[in-house]
Amino acid sequence: MPTVVTNIPARLDRLPWARWHWRVVIALGVTWILDGLEVTLVGSIGRVLEEPATLGLTSTEVGLSATAYLLGAIGGAIGFGWLTDRLGRKKLFLVTLGVYLASTALTAASWSFASFAFFRLLTGAGIGGEGAAMSSAIDELLPARVRGFVALTLNGSYWIGAALGALVSAVVLSPHMLGHALGWRFAFALGALLGFGILLVRRYLPESPRWLLVHGRADEAEAVTRMIERDVLGARADEWPAPERTLRIVARPRIGLGEIARTLLRDYRGRTLYGLALMVSQAFFYNAIFFTYSLILGAFYGVPAERIGYYVLPFAAGNFLGPLLLGRLFDSVGRRPMIAGTYAASAILLAATGWLFQRGALDALTQTMLWSAIFFIASAAASSAYLTVSEVFPLEIRALCIALFYAVGTGVGGLLAPTIFGALIETGDRRSVYYGYLFGAALMLAASLVAWRWGVSAERRSLEDVAAPLSSAPEIPRRVDHDDARPPLQ
């Protein structure tokens, strides 16, 4: 098979931050905003959907609709993630956004629980596929020195979507605007409109040069890299000396399921268990609280449905500011201490707040403020889980790994949490809900210990240094489930 010696990864990593990088971040990072918008809309209008004038759902059906969204996200992540590694990042981040756009528009036209749950499932499939395609593309296009901060901030932008969803729901549900019967439909239609605008921008983004290299398309990879350099450096592009570090790629047929299994379960077994611990714990932690946010405020504090959106705003602010303000520490202090520390702090704070809740010592405002403080830290922790599974595995299976870990984490931690907590809330017993919070805190604390023991120091390192491509030269060690492996960039 043909062999290519290339310096393209080193050239991409050395580029100064420029307007071109902002274009990539905005066009691809909107995925998290859309996800936050969708989840928050259901969280904010959950009580509204129980009214006879809307869909007349029960609290359990509201929880099941959230479960349908997550099921769709799991299926979409795996299916589209597999295709992203085979067909390319660009093709799939266009297709998945189109799926989301159509599905959320159909959600606005729902007429029953069955139709609403089905359209939510399709919307989740689009968002799940988006995550795999978008995360792999961003990691492969951005310089290594800022990868952690940018990835965490983009994950945190989920809460910009959450704030937007909260504001939209609060405004359109107001009796002075559209009211409950039509307002919830307009809110979902807004998501489709936003998706259409971003679809137009994404058409101009390039394919990942790294993906092109390992698929035997070295000439295209070189052409795309030169285009990026001209866009970033302008007239200086031809004057920059070529970096000395090179990567030797041996073109090969597509990666089969057997090799994927061996890579995850043998060569990267420690990283696989590490990624699972992070993803499962944060998924349960988040979904347990946020998918039932409106139910807690309504059932225990008597907050009217049309005002719940206002209580989401400080919560969303804390979640966005956490990764934004703490994100640079993941590149400077390091991945391992920051991941372990944020997971442990989140667990301790949730346990303490749960105790105050079951004692009846909080009202709607203080409950919201404490949740906001908890998730200032927990948002950075959860974002670091997505960053970890996107950078510690080989390039050829990166998108699929993101999808698999998201699917397992969401399946174990996310699918169960909304249903369990929906049932706990329906009992009206604060102590039962408190025990659920304790379980979520225990999962986060266990993940913190795993991160401290088996975490990967990926900060400021090239993706090829963190995990050698499966297509790299044979002399590079394949079993690299540790941090001191020989770097493939020579």
pLDDT over threshold 90, residue 325:
yes
pLDDT at 406: 85
For helices 416-426 and 59-87, what crossing angle results, to 10°? 170
Structural domain includes residue 2: no
Q: What is the pLDDT of residues 399-419, one digit of tens each?
A: 899 989 988 887 776 667 777
CATH code of the domain in which 286 resides:
1.20.1250.20
pLDDT at 424: 79
Higher per-residue pLDDT: 297 or 221: 221
Question: Hey, what are 441's tokens?
Answer: 């805190």
pLDDT at 490: 45
pLDDT at 63: 74
β-sheet bridge partners, residue 250: 3
Question: Hey, what are 12's tokens?
Answer: 């991409």
Using DSSP's 3-state secondary structure scheme, residue 181 falls into helix
pLDDT band at 441 (very low <50, low <70, confident <90, very high): very high
Contact 339/455 with Cβ under 8 angstroms?
Answer: yes
Structural domain includes residue 485: no
pLDDT at 216: 83
pLDDT over threshold 50, residue 481:
no
Cite the DSSP H helix spans in 203-245: 209-214, 218-233
H/E stretch holding 146:
none
pLDDT at 479: 44
Q: What is the pLDDT of residues 326-343, one digit of tens each?
A: 999 999 999 999 999 999
Structural domain includes residue 5: no
pLDDT at 293: 72
pLDDT at 485: 41
pLDDT at 180: 66
Higher per-residue pLDDT: 170 or 260: 260
Structural domain includes residue 487: no
Structural domain includes residue 305: yes
Structural domain includes residue 218: no
Listed residue (356, 400, 316, 379) closest to 83, CA to CA: 400
Structural domain span for residue 58: 13-210+254-466
What phi and psi, each to the nearest 5 degrees, are found at residue 415?
Answer: -65, -40
Instruction: Choose the weakest-confidence range: 57-66, 271-280, 369-378.
Output: 57-66
What is the Cα–Cα distance from 31 to 93, expressed in whole angstroms?
Answer: 10
pLDDT band at 220 (very low <50, low <70, confident <90, very high): very high
pLDDT over threshold 90, residue 179:
no
What is the Cα–Cα distance from 13 to 460, expressed in whole angstroms?
Answer: 10
* The total number of structural domains that make up the chain: 1
Higher per-residue pLDDT: 328 or 184: 328
pLDDT over threshold 50, residue 199:
yes
pLDDT at 74: 87
pLDDT over threshold 50, residue 484:
no
Q: Report, as an integer, the average pLDDT of 313-323.
A: 87
What is the Cα–Cα distance from 167 to 221, expressed in whole angstroms?
Answer: 43
Return all residues near 146 (Cβ < 8 A) that are at least 6 apart: 17, 331
Question: Half-sphere exposure of residue 46, counting CA atoms within 13 Å on the CB side?
Answer: 30
Is the model's pTM score more than 0.85?
no
Structural domain includes residue 4: no
What is the Cα–Cα distance from 486 to 490, expressed in whole angstroms?
Answer: 9
Structural domain includes residue 87: yes
